[in-house]
Amino acid sequence: MFIRNAWYIAAWANEVSDTPLARRILNEPVVLFRDKEGKAGALADRCCHRAAPLSLGQVTDAGLQCGYHGLTFDCSGRCVAIPGQEKIPQKARVRSYPLVEKDEFLWIWMGEAEKADVSKILDYPYHNDYKKWPHKHGLYQVKCNYMLLVDNLMDLTHIGYIHGKTIGGSPMTHVQAEMETTPTDTGLKFTRWMPNSAPPPTYSKAVPFAGNVDRWQEFEYVAPTSIIQWSGAIDVGKEARTNRDQPGFSLKLFHGLTPETETTTFYFWSTANGYRQDDPEVTELLYQEIGKAFLEDKEIVEAQQKRITEMGEEALVDVVSDRARIHMRRTVERMLKEDGQAQAAA
Amino acid sequence: MFIRNAWYIAAWANEVSDTPLARRILNEPVVLFRDKEGKAGALADRCCHRAAPLSLGQVTDAGLQCGYHGLTFDCSGRCVAIPGQEKIPQKARVRSYPLVEKDEFLWIWMGEAEKADVSKILDYPYHNDYKKWPHKHGLYQVKCNYMLLVDNLMDLTHIGYIHGKTIGGSPMTHVQAEMETTPTDTGLKFTRWMPNSAPPPTYSKAVPFAGNVDRWQEFEYVAPTSIIQWSGAIDVGKEARTNRDQPGFSLKLFHGLTPETETTTFYFWSTANGYRQDDPEVTELLYQEIGKAFLEDKEIVEAQQKRITEMGEEALVDVVSDRARIHMRRTVERMLKEDGQAQAAA
Amino acid sequence: MFIRNAWYIAAWANEVSDTPLARRILNEPVVLFRDKEGKAGALADRCCHRAAPLSLGQVTDAGLQCGYHGLTFDCSGRCVAIPGQEKIPQKARVRSYPLVEKDEFLWIWMGEAEKADVSKILDYPYHNDYKKWPHKHGLYQVKCNYMLLVDNLMDLTHIGYIHGKTIGGSPMTHVQAEMETTPTDTGLKFTRWMPNSAPPPTYSKAVPFAGNVDRWQEFEYVAPTSIIQWSGAIDVGKEARTNRDQPGFSLKLFHGLTPETETTTFYFWSTANGYRQDDPEVTELLYQEIGKAFLEDKEIVEAQQKRITEMGEEALVDVVSDRARIHMRRTVERMLKEDGQAQAAA
Ligand code: FES
Ligand code: FES
Ligand code: FES
């Protein structure tokens, strides 16, 4: 079950060119491409003639040409050419999906086209600010339902156990973090403070701290599938809580989780170096470290998915650290319900 | 759904020896072998004792011996030996299938044995005439329903798109071909003429044409699964239409499509060199080129099958070039219906 | 369908350490581990928090700690720690399975815990007697229902066909063996005598026989999944029937067949050298030879399973050599019925 009336990340903008790209989104085969003007389009990846995937075709001046018998479609899905045939039947068309290029993302709308409100697309201005936030992006395919990845990001007690050797540090630091959770219009936001704590390996590798630090993790969940993270640390005694824009460690992570199928997810992630902006090696190192940490998450959530696929979620027991996760789940359930009603009414 | 009362190619005759060969046909496991006299037999590939595949056994003087506990069966499927036991029960037998060796093929009948009329087996005399038609044969397993491969051969507008770099040449040449379609007793026949056209790469590599050629493609579909193709080209101005037996380019292709399962097919194909019979390298080259072209078809029909498996054939739109394909489909549907009635009555 | 109220081999004792081991038994995911005292435990391999497999966790002083958020369980399945939380809810527990270490095996009970009677576990004293029975053990995963492997061991006419090149010897020797079958309380026992027969390759490689031998194979089937085998040969004329403890060839094999799923089985096997106890190379050689022979069985039963999965067991025909096999099957059916009633009553 997916929320259809929502914007999802279909691709990184730089993944899509005039070589068609096949990608399954909400379990529908989609072809992404750019026409000869560079405009990105998203069509159902199935020719209306004999069902060949359009992603095996090529972009011509007229649009996307099927690789089997040459029918050609424009970005709106209309058939604009049938080789050897003058008249093009009305019904010769494939579904097109609203697609918007913004902040290095291509956002797609899989639901009712008339509800696709571009103003509702999440802002991620850091992708447009290379000076202050030099960054890199990655993409993993993870074999689990996207909710397990959102869960993962809403209960950070996992950090000490899964990422002990990378970004985590001591488990107890995380468990004892001070946690403030605030509902927002589009989801929720929480900040965890680990005051006067030892900086984890990744942090001290990056910044020469004097000793202990005041460390924070701020997570903003924008339903259904985006998480904006701001993590950092500043030497103790510098009033970090009231001013986080001081020298120290600071990074922005973006997590975008697009359902491929019920049990697989595209994990779009980017890392922005907010502490040594003038050193590209640091930007690269951050990217590598975080990429490794996400593979640690990948391993456990894929194993978790296998169990849930086989045995469901029955008899599971919530614990205290599940609070933000549960709030998030309720938000998604509400959206799913609204979405179902919208679709039933449509 | 398969037409059962029909002859299918089970194997190339030279594939089958006294080493048993396992092959699935119309989704039934069959074992093919030759007994000690060299006679080819086809049995259900499941021992009637404990269901071990007979294809793991060996041919002995008495017949095909199961590799598990040694029960032995003759070509008719009768059990002729049970180790350590004198009396052989009547019901100790496995199903045998009528099997006929002809024109380098082994033809099998998967339906009601009493209807297996050997005179109905297609003639392919070119396989017996190495002088005039030196040839080679190949076999591909293609992951699609066999109908998609017949479709492929009934709508040749695909040639310009799929085979542009091999046997195709310019797409428009194909699209504008003059097409004559004639129904036959066993299917249909069509000839496409591309008069005064540029020879495609494969042709000119083979024959030193003066310039443009009169080019033809003749396809005879013999339902349900055979296609005999005669393609060629002769320099313009030589009255090719009334006499195709002049020097130039000329080849015979055989396409035999045997369903393995609902979504996989054995593609038996042979290529006969009718233009430079005395040069074995040309025969080999032709074989290589055509083999490559068929892999191009394989790629697209397998992708097409995936979409059809997932999404069916709904909302597909026929175009003008589908005419022969549609005629063919009707023939098959009629046969399927007759076959279903025969089986219901049986 | 499995018999649940029975002891099965979960693992070789030396497979299990403080690194958790995931193993599926009767189609349930189980984690095996040893706590810090060395006691072996078996738990359901699914954390009661968010369903992560516990086998991805680690053993700590307190027990088995989940690798996701750190919940920890003792051998009884009770949760003994939740990071950051004082109170542990009653229902925070995972299922534990009775597990007994004995004779180098770890025996597990997958049924109703209160019926787990340790005195019912099979004795295999040879594993504790390295002097008289130096031995080695192995483990194969075989892709068939465990019954097909029991079948295999109950109809030894297969030996001449499958193992002709290894332990078998001439097929006819086996077919003509004198067979005595005796029902027992826990299954059945049969002995096959091949008096005055040529020793098979494996035997003569091991022992310098004068010529023909009196050869025996004794099989004790202990339902549902254990077979104890004693095979040997003594020079003819030594009254082997009344005294098998004379110099010659003699080995003990243990076959333990634990269902992993309906169509896969763990084959625990051990080989004991009872003829040249002082030579470790002989023990090793025996192990290698038998291991190879079991791979021959593996190949055929896996092929057999494929046919049975596809086509069932209909229209199969029993032969004379099936007698012990049929007796065994009846025993298992009776146990299955009793087990079903017990479970229905529970
Ligand atoms: S399938 Fe696309 S043009 Fe025929
Ligand atoms: S299964 Fe073929 S002889 Fe037993
Ligand atoms: S899933 Fe095991 S502790 Fe959370």
Residues A18/A72, Cβ–Cβ less than 8 Å: no
Question: Which residue range(s) make up the domain with A252?
Answer: 129-341
- Ligand at minimal distance from the CA of B308 is 1
Closest alpha carbon to B257 in B308, B209, B311, B187: B187
C80 pLDDT exceeds 70?
yes
- Average pLDDT of C260-284? 96
Confirm whether B295 is domain-assigned: yes
Co-location of A69 and A214 in the same domain: no
Partner-chain residue, chosen from B161, B303, B304, that has the shortest CB–CB distance to A70: B161
Domain limit, last residue, from C70, C92, C120: C120
- Average pLDDT of B235-239? 94
Angstroms from C55 CA to nearest CA on chain A: 10
Whether residues A157 and C69 touch (CB distance < 8 A) is answered with yes
pLDDT grade, residue B167 (50/70/90)?
low
Question: pLDDT at position B84, please?
Answer: 85
Co-location of C316 and C273 in the same domain: yes
Q: Residue C48 maps to which CATH number?
A: 2.102.10.10
What is the SS3 assignment for C330?
helix
Query: Which residues, at least 6 apart from B162, have a Cβ–Cβ distance to it below 8 Å?
Result: A67, A68, B168, B296, B297, B300
- Average pLDDT of A43-69? 98
pLDDT digits (tens, 9 = 90+) for A92-149: 999 999 999 999 999 999 999 999 999 999 999 999 999 999 999 999 999 999 999 9
pLDDT digits (tens, 9 = 90+) for A188-220: 999 999 999 999 887 888 888 999 999 999 999
Average pLDDT, chain A: 94
Taking one residue from B and the other from C, the number of pairs with CB-CB distance under 8 angstroms is: 75
Confirm whether B281 is domain-assigned: yes
Co-location of C175 and C266 in the same domain: yes
pLDDT digits (tens, 9 = 90+) for C101-134: 999 999 999 999 999 999 999 999 999 999 999 9
Angstroms from C171 CA to nearest CA on chain B: 8
B166 pLDDT exceeds 90?
no
Confirm whether C189 is domain-assigned: yes
A260 pLDDT exceeds 90?
yes
Angstroms from A87 CA to nearest CA on chain B: 10
Domain limit, last residue, from A65, A85, A120: A120
Question: pLDDT at position A174, please?
Answer: 66
Q: Is B175 exposed, middle or buried (0-12, 13-18, 19+ CB in 10 A)?
A: buried
From chain A, pick out residues whose CB is under 8 angstroms from the CB of C84: 157, 175-176, 320-321
Q: What percent of chain B has pLDDT over 90?
A: 85
As a whole number of angstroms, the distance between CA A137 and CA A287 comes to: 8
From chain C, pick out residues whose CB is under 8 angstroms from the CB of B65: 161
| C neighbour chains, 3+ CB pairs within 8 Å | A, B
Domain limit, last residue, from C100, C120, C140: C120
- When divided into structural domains, chain B yields a total of 2
Question: pLDDT at position C160, please?
Answer: 82
C304 pLDDT exceeds 80?
yes
Taking the CA of residue C70 as reference, the ligand 3 atom at the shortest distance is: 3
As given in the structure block, the two tokens for residue A211 are 């000793």
C-alpha to C-alpha distances, B87 to A231, B72, B283, C160, nearest whole angstrom: 83, 13, 55, 21
As given in the structure block, the two tokens for residue B254 are 């055989």
Q: Closest Cα to atom 3, ligand 2: which residue?
A: B69
Question: pLDDT at position B200, please?
Answer: 83
Co-location of B95 and B140 in the same domain: no
Question: pLDDT at position C206, please?
Answer: 80
The identity of residue A42, as a single letter, is A
Whether residues B51 and C304 touch (CB distance < 8 A) is answered with yes
**Cis peptide preceding C199, ω within 30 of 0:** no
As a whole number of angstroms, the distance between CA C131 and CA A170 comes to: 51
Whether residues A91 and B176 touch (CB distance < 8 A) is answered with no
A304 pLDDT exceeds 70?
yes
Q: Closest Cα to atom 3, ligand 1: which residue?
A: A69
Question: pLDDT at position A201, please?
Answer: 80
Confirm whether C292 is domain-assigned: yes
Q: Where are the alpha helices (DSSP H) in C126-232?
A: 146-154, 158-162, 171-175, 201-206
Q: Residue B229 maps to which CATH number?
A: 3.90.380.10
CA of C307 to the centre of ligand 2 (A): 12
Whether residues A300 and C56 touch (CB distance < 8 A) is answered with yes
- Average pLDDT of C180-197? 92
Question: pLDDT at position A133, please?
Answer: 97
Q: Which one has a higher pLDDT value, A199 or B201?
A: A199
* Region of residue A173 (phi > 0: left; psi between -120 and 50: alpha; otherwise: beta): alpha
> For B74-88, B294-308, C49-63, C196-210, which range has the lowest pLDDT when averaged over its residues?
C196-210
Average pLDDT, chain B: 94
Residue for token pair 């958790």 = C20
Query: Is residue B176 within 8 angstroms of chain A, CB to CB?
Result: yes
Question: pLDDT at position A176, please?
Answer: 73
Co-location of A137 and A116 in the same domain: no
Question: pLDDT at position B340, please?
Answer: 83
> Which phi and psi (to 5°) does residue C134 adopt?
-55, 135
Q: Is C278 exposed, middle or buried (0-12, 13-18, 19+ CB in 10 A)?
A: exposed
Co-location of C236 and C314 in the same domain: yes
| B49 within ligand 2 shell (Cβ under 6 A) | yes
Q: CA Rg, chain C, in Å?
A: 22
Confirm whether B2 is domain-assigned: no
Confirm whether C40 is domain-assigned: yes
Query: Is residue A311 within 8 angstroms of chain C, CB to CB?
Result: yes
Closest alpha carbon to C138 in C295, C301, C6: C295
Residues A299/A147, Cβ–Cβ less than 8 Å: no
Question: pLDDT at position C121, please?
Answer: 98
Co-location of C41 and C143 in the same domain: no
Closest alpha carbon to B218 in B172, B253, B248, B246: B253
Co-location of C224 and C95 in the same domain: no
Question: pLDDT at position B344, please?
Answer: 73
Q: Which one has a higher pLDDT value, C179 or A264?
A: A264
**What is the chain A residue with the closest CA to C47?**
A316
| A neighbour chains, 3+ CB pairs within 8 Å | B, C
pLDDT grade, residue B73 (50/70/90)?
very high
Question: pLDDT at position C170, please?
Answer: 66
Query: Is residue A91 within 8 angstroms of chain B, CB to CB?
Result: yes
What is the SS3 assignment for C141?
strand
Question: pLDDT at position A139, please?
Answer: 98
Question: pLDDT at position C341, please?
Answer: 79
pLDDT digits (tens, 9 = 90+) for B242-260: 999 888 999 999 999 999 9
- Average pLDDT of C146-156? 96
Co-location of C185 and C264 in the same domain: yes
- Ligand at minimal distance from the CA of A54 is 1
As a whole number of angstroms, the distance between CA A74 and CA A130 comes to: 34
CA of B65 to the centre of ligand 2 (A): 9
pLDDT digits (tens, 9 = 90+) for C214-250: 999 999 999 999 999 999 999 999 999 999 988 899 9
pLDDT grade, residue B178 (50/70/90)?
confident
Taking the CA of residue B47 as reference, the ligand 2 atom at the shortest distance is: 2
pLDDT grade, residue C1 (50/70/90)?
confident
Confirm whether C2 is domain-assigned: no
Question: pLDDT at position B40, please?
Answer: 98
Q: Which of residues 284-303 of A touch C (CB under 8 A)?
A: 299-300, 303
C-alpha to C-alpha distances, B185 to A133, B117, B220, B341, C253, nearest whole angstrom: 74, 16, 11, 20, 67
The identity of residue B76, as a single letter, is S
Confirm whether A346 is domain-assigned: no
Query: Is residue C3 within 8 angstroms of chain A, CB to CB?
Result: no
Co-location of C278 and C323 in the same domain: yes
Tell me, what's the ipTM? 0.92
Co-location of A320 and A193 in the same domain: yes
pLDDT grade, residue A170 (50/70/90)?
low
Co-location of C39 and C107 in the same domain: yes
Give the mutation candidate from C155, C173, C307 for the B interface (greatest B CB count, under 10 A): C307
